C-alpha cells in the first residue's frame, strides 16, 4: 500500500520579486502564462498548442521539478468598474449617474448568479536550485554550506535572515527560464503577484479585494487562516475575510492513453469555479542510483521471466491488461531511445463553495463528468489537510508515491495547459458570453450554461493595447439578416452612449426614434426604468424631411463638403472631397450614356466647386445652372433641364439645393440622424431591379455616408463614433465602397471609429480593406460559411463548417482586438434594453408557437 506523507506546515520561507525560498533551501521561480483562447471545437489549434507544450516540457525537464496551476481568479468587478484606473474614468459626465447605475446593476446581477465571478489564470513554478551548482567548486561548496545552515538553524531554535543578495544569485537563471517561457506567453511574476498567489490558497471562494491582498507581503499574513477537517472529504476554511468549504480531488486513475485528456480545459467547462494543479517531477533517465532506464530493464526481464514460466505451465497471460503492459514497456524504451523525457506528476482538482451542501453537489457533478472520460477522482476523505499544504507553492514531490501518474512530455502536453475560452476586453460592459456548446437548444441556455463573460469597451480598440493584434478602431457586424446583427449594434450603441464619446447614429429607417418614443410614452416603463429614460433623453434626434423647406440642401455635398480641409493654389476641383460624391449622385439618379455629356456635367461640377472656394453660396442645383448656361450644345442644356425635373421633387430636395440653406450640424454628444421617406431595398434584392425611388434613396445614403465621414474628422481631440446599421448599402456600388473606405480611413489618427453592419464577409476581405478591420462579429450567412470561418482564422474543415452552420439566432463568431476567436452568445443583461430594441411585436400565433415549441 502507498502512503501519503503527513504535511501540516507551509514550505515557504521567504519571497523576493518572483522568487520563493522554501524551508528546505530550494528556490522556485514563478511566472504567469497568458492564456491562449481556443474554441472548444477547434482541434487544429489544440494540436498546435500541444506540440508547443511538449517542446516546452522537454526543455523544462532539466530543472527537475515544476508546477502547473490553473486558478479561477476573482475578477474583482468593483475594482474594474470603479477603481483608480477603471472603466468609470471614461463615463460621460452628462450621464455619469446613469452609467454608474448600470455598472453597479451589472455587478450585482453577476455576483448574484455566480457568487464569485472569475477568469482563468495560469501559473507555472519552476525549481531553480540546480543552476546554482554550475559555478566554481568554491561557490558550490559555499552554496552547500548555506543550505546546511538554512536547514539546521531552525532545528536549533534559530531563525535565518535571508537578504536580497541571496536571491540575486538566481536572477540569471530566472531570466533564462522566462525566455524559455516566452513561447507560451510567460511573464515573470511581480512580488505582488507572488504574494497574492500564496494568499489565494486561504481565500478560495471568499469575497476579497485582489488589489488589497496583493499588497501585503508579510509571510505570516499571507499564510493566515484556519482549517477544519471535521467534515468528510472537505475542509472548512476561515479567515478575517470570511469562510467557505473546499474539496481536494486528486486523480487516482486515468485511461492508459492520455490523448485528449485536456484536464485544464475540463476544469473550465463547469459553471462553478474549478482549480487544477499539477506537481511535476522529472524522472532520472540514467546514471548512478535508481533511474528509469535500469527500472525498465529490470521490469522487462521480470516480464520475460513471468511469461516463460507461464508458457511452460500452460497458463500464458494474453489478457488485454498484460498486452497493454508489454506495449507500454516497448513504448517507453523506444521513447528513451528517441530522447523523450518522462515525468511523475500529482494532479488535483479543487472545488469550493459557500456551504457544504453546495460543495457536495459540485463535487458529485464534477466527479461524474470526469468519470465519463474514464478518469477517477479520489475523495481523499482523510487527506484534505495534507493536500491543502501539498498544493502550496514550493512543495516538492520528492519522496511522494501516492496518486502519482506517469507521462512523457507528449502525454503531459495532452492536458492543454494555458488555454482558455476568454474573449473581449479586460474592462467594459458585458455584451455576451462565450458559448462552449456544440449546438445550442436556445439562446437562453447558451448564455446561462456559460461562466465566461465577454466584456467590451470600444474606446480601447485603437489604443495599441499590449497584446492586441490590430490598431484598427472599427467594429464590424456581418451576417444574414435576422440573426441578431441589429440587436448587437444597438446594444453597443447603448453602452457607448454612457461613455465619454460623441456619437452619430445614421438611422435611415427611423427605427430608433420609433422605439424610443414607444418607451418614453409608456408611464409604466418610465416609472420602472427612470435611469434609462434619463439616458435616452440625452439622444438628440434630427429628422431630415423633404416636406420641410428648411431641410432642403441639408445633405447637399457641395454645401457641407466643398472647400473643407487644406487647399493650395495648384489644387484642382476634382481633388475636392465633394467632387466624387457629386458625380456619383448624379450618375445614381440619372443614367448618362454619352461620354461627352458626362464630361460636360463633370466640368460643371468643377466650376461650381471653384465658386464655392471663392465664397459663393452654391449647391448641386448650381451645377445644372452652370451646365445650362455654359454648354455649347442644345442637347446638353436639355439634359440639365431633365435632371433638374428629377431632383427638385421628393427626397432628393435634401441633397440638391442652390446652397442657401446650411447643412445639418451637431453640437450635441449623442446624435441620431434620420431621413424621412427613404425607401431602401432589402439586402438580398438584385441592384438591377431597384426602382427609381430606391435609386434616389441610395443616392441620399451616399450623402449621408459622406456626412458621417465629415463628422469623424471634426475634432481629433475627442472620441467620435459613427454607427451605420445599414452599411451594406454602401457595398452596392464602387462609389459607396469608396465612401465607406473613406470613413474608415479617418480612424485612429482622429480618435474615430465606425460601427457598421453588413451582410457579406466579402465586404471585409477586399484587397484594399486590409488593416481597416478591427473587431469582427460574424453571424452566419449560409452561403458564406466557409468564407467567414477562413476570414476570422478558423480552419474551414467539414467539422467546423457543420459546427458554425448550427449557430442559432443570437450566436456569433467574435474576433477581438487580441486576435482571439470564439463563439459568443449575445446577451443584454438588462431587460429594459431588450424591450427597447424590440422592433416587431409578437402576434398571438407567434406567442402560441413559442410556448409549445
What is the pLDDT, as a whole number, of residue 32? 97
Q: What is the CA radius of gyration of the chain?
A: 34
Cα distance from N-terminal residue to C-terminal residue, the chain: 57
What is the pLDDT, as a whole number, of residue 291? 65
SS3 454: strand
Is residue 823 predicted with pLDDT exceeding 90?
Answer: yes
pLDDT band for position 840 (50/70/90)? very low
- Mean pLDDT of all residues in 26-39: 93
What is the pLDDT, as a whole number, of residue 806? 93
> Based on the domain organization, do 572 and 720 belong to the same domain?
no
- Mean pLDDT of all residues in 546-566: 86
What is the pLDDT, as a whole number, of residue 763? 77
Closest CA to 201 of 2, 477, 390: 390
Is residue 255 predicted with pLDDT exceeding 60?
Answer: yes
What is the pLDDT, as a whole number, of residue 122? 97
Please report which helix (H) or strand (E) contains residue 352, including its range.
Answer: strand 342-353
Is residue 543 predicted with pLDDT exceeding 90?
Answer: no
The total number of structural domains in the chain stands at: 3
What is the pLDDT, as a whole number, of residue 336? 62
pLDDT band for position 713 (50/70/90)? confident
Which single residue is written with the C-alpha cell 475636392? Answer: 576
For 741-798, strand residue ranges (E) read 752-758, 775-778
Structural contact between residues 709 and 739, judged by C-beta atoms closer than 8 angstroms: yes
What is the pLDDT, as a whole number, of residue 687? 79
What is the pLDDT, as a whole number, of residue 236? 95
Residue 800: partners with Cβ closer than 8 Å, 6 or more residues away: 41, 42, 789, 794
CA dist., res. 707 & res. 674, Å (int): 12
- Would you say residue 325 lies in a domain? no
Cα→Cα distances 553→404, 558, 620, 693, 702, Å: 80, 9, 9, 18, 14
> Based on the domain organization, do 163 and 214 belong to the same domain?
yes
- What sections of 401-484 are H helices per DSSP? 409-413, 443-448
DSSP state of 9: S
pLDDT band for position 142 (50/70/90)? very low
Q: Which long-range contacts (CB under 8 A, 24 or more apart) does 677-682 make?
A: 677/545, 677/546, 677/650, 677/651, 678/508, 678/509, 678/651, 680/508, 680/509, 680/726, 680/729, 682/481
Is residue 781 predicted with pLDDT exceeding 50?
Answer: yes
- Mean pLDDT of all residues in 234-255: 93
**Could you please report the per-residue DSSP string of 122-180?**
EEEEEE-GGGGGSS-HHHHHHHHHHHHHHHHHHHTT------HHHHHTTHHHHHHHHHH
CA torsion angle for 88, 92, 93, 96 (degrees, to 10)? Answer: -60
What is the pLDDT, as a whole number, of residue 467? 74
SS3 796: coil
> What CATH number does the domain containing 798 carry?
3.40.50.300
Cα→Cα distances 739→112, 583, 708, 732, Å: 47, 13, 10, 11
Which set of grid coordinates corresponds to residue 25? 533551501
Which set of grid coordinates corresponds to residue 346? 500529482
> Based on the domain organization, do 583 and 680 belong to the same domain?
no
What is the pLDDT, as a whole number, of residue 136? 38
Please report which helix (H) or strand (E) contains residue 236, including its range.
Answer: strand 235-239
Please report which helix (H) or strand (E) contains residue 120, including its range.
Answer: strand 118-127
- Would you say residue 87 lies in a domain? no
What is the pLDDT, as a whole number, of residue 746? 82
- Mean pLDDT of all residues in 25-48: 90
CA dist., res. 147 & res. 154, Å (int): 12
Count CA within 13 A, CB hemisphere, residue 847: 5
pLDDT band for position 307 (50/70/90)? low
> Based on the domain organization, do 701 and 627 belong to the same domain?
no
State residue 689 phi and psi, 5-degree precision: -100, 5
Please report which helix (H) or strand (E) contains residue 288, including its range.
Answer: none
SS3 262: coil
> Based on the domain organization, do 451 and 397 belong to the same domain?
no
**Could you please report the per-residue DSSP string of 652-709?**
GGGT---S-SPPP---SSEEEEEETT--PPPTTS-GGG--HHHHHHHHHHHHHHHHHH
> Based on the domain organization, do 408 and 279 belong to the same domain?
yes
Average pLDDT over the chain, rounded to an integer? 85
CA torsion angle for 812, 818, 820, 822 (degrees, to 10)? Answer: -20
Structural contact between residues 755 and 722, judged by C-beta atoms closer than 8 angstroms: yes
Which single residue is written with the C-alpha cell 462565450? Answer: 434
Structural contact between residues 124 and 279, judged by C-beta atoms closer than 8 angstroms: no
Is residue 493 predicted with pLDDT exceeding 70?
Answer: yes
Say what percent of the chain tops pLDDT 70. Answer: 85
> Based on the domain organization, do 461 and 564 belong to the same domain?
no
SS3 187: strand
> Based on the domain organization, do 405 and 438 belong to the same domain?
no
Looking at the DSSP bridge assignments, the partners of residue 278 are 68, 347
Which set of grid coordinates corresponds to residue 289? 542510483
Q: Which residues of 359-384 are buried (b: 16+ CB within 10 A; e: fewer)?
A: bbebbeebbeebeeeebebbbbeebb
> Based on the domain organization, do 621 and 705 belong to the same domain?
no
> Based on the domain organization, do 549 and 577 belong to the same domain?
no
Is residue 6 predicted with pLDDT exceeding 60?
Answer: no
Which set of grid coordinates corresponds to residue 832? 429594459
- Would you say residue 2 lies in a domain? no
What is the pLDDT, as a whole number, of residue 287? 52
- Would you say residue 449 lies in a domain? yes
Of 386, 417, 448, the residue that ends a domain is 417
Of 238 and 161, the structure prediction assigns the larger pLDDT to 238
CA dist., res. 790 & res. 447, Å (int): 25
Residue 375: partners with Cβ closer than 8 Å, 6 or more residues away: 251, 253, 254, 255, 261, 263
What is the pLDDT, as a whole number, of residue 400? 84
Look at the pTM and tell me if it is higher than 0.85.
no
Structural contact between residues 653 and 546, judged by C-beta atoms closer than 8 angstroms: yes
CA dist., res. 773 & res. 754, Å (int): 10
pLDDT band for position 130 (50/70/90)? very low
Of 654, 686, 711, the residue that ends a domain is 654
SS (H, E, C) 710-733: HHHHCCCCCCEEEEECCHHHHHCC
Is residue 50 predicted with pLDDT exceeding 90?
Answer: yes
Looking at the DSSP bridge assignments, the partners of residue 823 are 813
- Mean pLDDT of all residues in 122-144: 59
> Based on the domain organization, do 606 and 731 belong to the same domain?
no
- Would you say residue 290 lies in a domain? no
Structural contact between residues 672 and 512, judged by C-beta atoms closer than 8 angstroms: yes
Structural contact between residues 394 and 22, judged by C-beta atoms closer than 8 angstroms: yes
Q: What is the CB neighbour count within 10 angstroms for residue 699? A: 24
CA dist., res. 685 & res. 251, Å (int): 59
For the ranges 152-166, 232-246, 382-396, the lowest mean pLDDT is seen at 152-166
- Would you say residue 103 lies in a domain? no
Per residue in 570-591, pLDDT (tens digit) is 788 999 988 988 998 898 888 8
What is the pLDDT, as a whole number, of residue 744? 84
The whole domain housing 274 covers 12-75+120-283+341-417
Say what percent of the chain tops pLDDT 90. Answer: 49
- Would you say residue 422 lies in a domain? no
Of 662 and 321, the structure prediction assigns the larger pLDDT to 662
- Would you say residue 423 lies in a domain? no
SS (H, E, C) 53-89: HHHHHHHHHHHCEEEEEEEEEECCHHHHHHCCCCHHH
Of 417, 438, 457, the residue that ends a domain is 417
CA dist., res. 749 & res. 702, Å (int): 24
Is residue 264 predicted with pLDDT exceeding 90?
Answer: yes
> Based on the domain organization, do 405 and 503 belong to the same domain?
no
Please report which helix (H) or strand (E) contains residue 281, including its range.
Answer: strand 274-282
- Mean pLDDT of all residues in 490-502: 95
Of 812 and 677, the structure prediction assigns the larger pLDDT to 812
Amino acid at each position: 500500500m502507498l502512503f501519503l506523507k503527513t504535511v501540516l506546515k507551509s514550505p515557504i520561507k521567504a519571497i523576493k520579486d518572483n522568487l520563493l525560498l522554501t524551508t528546505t533551501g530550494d528556490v522556485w521561480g514563478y511566472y504567469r502564462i497568458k492564456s491562449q483562447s481556443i474554441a472548444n471545437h477547434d482541434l487544429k489549434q489544440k494540436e498546435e498548442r500541444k506540440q508547443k507544450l511538449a517542446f516546452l516540457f522537454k526543455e523544462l525537464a532539466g530543472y527537475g521539478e515544476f508546477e502547473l496551476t490553473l486558478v479561477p481568479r476573482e475578477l474583482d468587478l468593483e475594482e474594474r468598474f470603479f477603481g483608480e484606473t477603471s472603466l468609470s474614468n471614461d463615463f460621460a459626465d452628462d450621464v455619469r449617474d446613469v452609467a454608474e447605475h448600470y455598472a453597479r446593476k451589472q455587478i450585482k446581477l453577476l455576483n448574484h448568479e455566480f457568487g464569485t465571478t472569475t477568469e482563468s489564470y495560469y501559473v507555472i513554478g519552476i525549481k531553480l536550485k540546480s543552476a546554482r551548482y554550475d559555478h566554481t567548486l568554491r561557490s558550490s561548496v559555499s552554496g552547500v554550506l548555506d543550505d546546511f545552515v538554512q536547514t539546521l538553524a531552525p532545528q536549533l531554535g534559530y531563525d535565518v535572515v535571508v537578504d536580497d543578495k541571496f536571491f540575486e544569485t538566481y536572477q540569471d537563471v530566472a531570466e533564462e527560464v522566462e525566455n524559455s517561457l516566452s513561447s507560451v506567453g510567460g511573464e515573470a511574476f511581480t512580488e505582488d503577484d507572488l504574494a497574492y498567489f500564496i494568499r489565494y490558497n486561504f481565500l478560495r471562494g471568499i469575497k476579497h479585494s485582489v488589489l488589497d491582498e496583493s499588497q501585503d507581503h508579510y509571510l505570516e499574513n499571507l499564510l493566515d487562516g484556519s482549517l477544519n477537517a471535521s467534515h468528510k472529504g472537505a475542509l472548512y476554511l476561515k479567515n478575517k475575510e470570511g469562510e467557505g468549504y473546499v474539496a481536494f480531488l486528486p486523480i487516482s486513475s486515468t485511461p492508459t492513453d492520455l490523448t485528449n485528456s485536456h484536464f485544464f480545459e475540463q476544469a473550465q467547462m463547469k459553471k462553478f469555479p474549478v482549480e487544477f494543479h499539477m506537481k511535476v517531477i522529472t524522472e532520472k533517465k540514467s546514471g548512478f542510483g535508481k533511474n528509469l532506464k535500469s527500472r525498465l530493464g529490470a521490469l522487462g526481464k521480470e516480464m520475460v521471466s513471468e511469461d516463460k514460466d507461464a508458457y511452460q505451465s500452460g497458463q500464458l497471460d494474453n489478457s488485454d491488461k498484460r498486452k497493454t503492459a508489454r506495449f507500454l514497456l516497448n513504448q517507453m524504451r523506444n521513447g528513451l531511445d528517441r530522447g523523450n523525457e518522462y515525468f511523475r506528476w500529482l494532479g488535483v482538482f479543487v472545488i469550493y463553495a459557500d456551504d457544504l451542501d453546495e460543495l457536495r453537489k459540485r463535487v458529485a457533478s464534477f466527479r461524474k463528468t470526469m468519470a465519463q472520460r474514464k478518469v477517477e477522482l479520489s475523495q481523499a476523505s482523510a487527506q484534505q489537510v495534507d493536500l491543502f499544504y501539498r498544493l502550496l507553492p514550493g512543495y516538492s514531490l520528492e519522496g511522494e508515491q501516492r496518486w502519482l501518474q506517469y507521462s512523457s512530455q507528449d502525454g503531459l502536453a495532452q492536458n492543454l495547459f494555458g488555454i482558455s475560452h476568454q474573449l473581449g476586453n479586460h474592462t467594459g460592459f458585458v455584451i455576451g458570453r462565450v458559448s462552449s456548446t456544440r449546438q445550442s437548444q436556445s439562446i437562453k441556455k447558451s448564455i446561462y450554461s456559460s461562466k465566461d463573460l465577454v466584456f467590451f469597451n470600444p474606446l480601447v480598440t485603437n489604443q495599441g493595447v499590449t497584446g492586441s493584434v490590430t490598431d484598427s478602431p472599427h467594429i464590424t457586424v456581418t451576417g444574414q439578416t435576422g440573426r441578431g446583427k441589429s440587436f448587437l449594434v444597438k446594444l453597443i450603441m447603448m453602452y457607448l452612449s454612457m461613455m465619454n464619446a460623441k456619437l452619430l447614429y445614421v438611422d435611415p429607417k427611423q427605427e430608433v426614434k420609433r422605439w424610443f418614443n414607444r418607451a418614453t410614452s409608456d408611464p409604466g416603463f418610465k416609472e420602472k426604468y427612470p435611469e434609462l429614460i434619463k439616458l435616452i433623453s440625452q439622444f438628440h434626434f434630427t429628422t431630415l424631411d423633404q416636406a420641410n423647406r428648411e431641410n432642403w440642401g441639408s445633405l447637399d455635398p457641395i454645401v457641407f463638403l466643398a472647400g473643407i480641409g487644406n487647399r493650395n493654389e495648384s489644387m484642382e476641383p476634382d481633388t475636392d472631397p465633394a467632387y466624387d460624391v457629386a458625380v456619383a449622385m448624379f450618375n445614381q439618379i440619372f443614367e448618362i450614356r454619352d461620354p461627352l455629356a458626362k464630361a460636360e456635367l463633370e466640368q460643371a461640377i468643377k466650376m461650381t466647386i471653384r465658386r464655392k472656394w471663392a465664397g459663393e453660396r452654391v449647391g448641386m442645383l448650381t451645377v445644372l445652372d452652370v451646365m445650362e448656361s455654359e454648354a455649347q450644345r442644345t442637347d446638353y442644356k436639355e439634359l440639365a433641364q431633365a435632371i433638374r425635373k428629377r431632383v427638385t421633387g421628393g427626397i432628393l430636395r435634401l441633397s440638391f439645393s442652390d446652397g442657401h440653406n446650411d447643412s445639418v450640424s451637431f453640437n450635441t454628444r449623442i446624435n441620431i440622424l434620420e431621413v424621412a421617406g427613404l425607401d431602401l431595398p432589402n439586402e438580398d434584392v438584385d441592384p438591377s431591379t431597384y426602382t427609381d425611388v430606391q435609386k434616389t434613396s441610395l443616392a441620399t445614403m451616399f450623402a449621408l455616408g459622406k456626412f458621417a465621414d465629415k463628422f469623424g474628422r471634426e475634432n481629433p481631440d475627442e472620441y467620435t463614433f459613427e454607427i451605420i446599421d445599414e452599411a451594406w448599402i454602401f457595398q452596392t456600388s464602387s462609389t459607396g465602397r469608396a465612401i465607406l473606405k473613406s470613413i474608415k480611413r479617418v480612424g485612429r489618427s482622429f480618435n474615430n471609429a465606425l460601427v457598421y453592419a453588413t451582410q457579406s464577409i466579402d465586404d471585409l476581405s477586399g484587397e484594399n480593406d486590409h488593416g481597416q478591420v478591427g473587431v469582427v462579429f460574424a453571424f452566419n450567412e449560409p452561403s458564406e460559411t466557409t468564407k467567414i470561418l477562413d476570414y476570422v482564422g478558423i480552419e474551414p474543415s467539414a467539422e467546423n463548417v457543420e459546427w458554425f452552420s448550427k449557430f442559432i439566432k443570437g450566436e456569433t463568431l467574435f474576433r477581438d482586438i487580441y486576435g482571439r476567436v470564439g463563439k459568443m452568445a449575445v446577451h443584454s443583461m438588462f431587460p429594459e434594453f431588450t424591450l427597447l430594441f424590440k422592433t416587431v411585436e409578437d402576434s398571438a400565433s407567434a406567442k402560441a408557437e413559442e410556448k409549445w415549441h
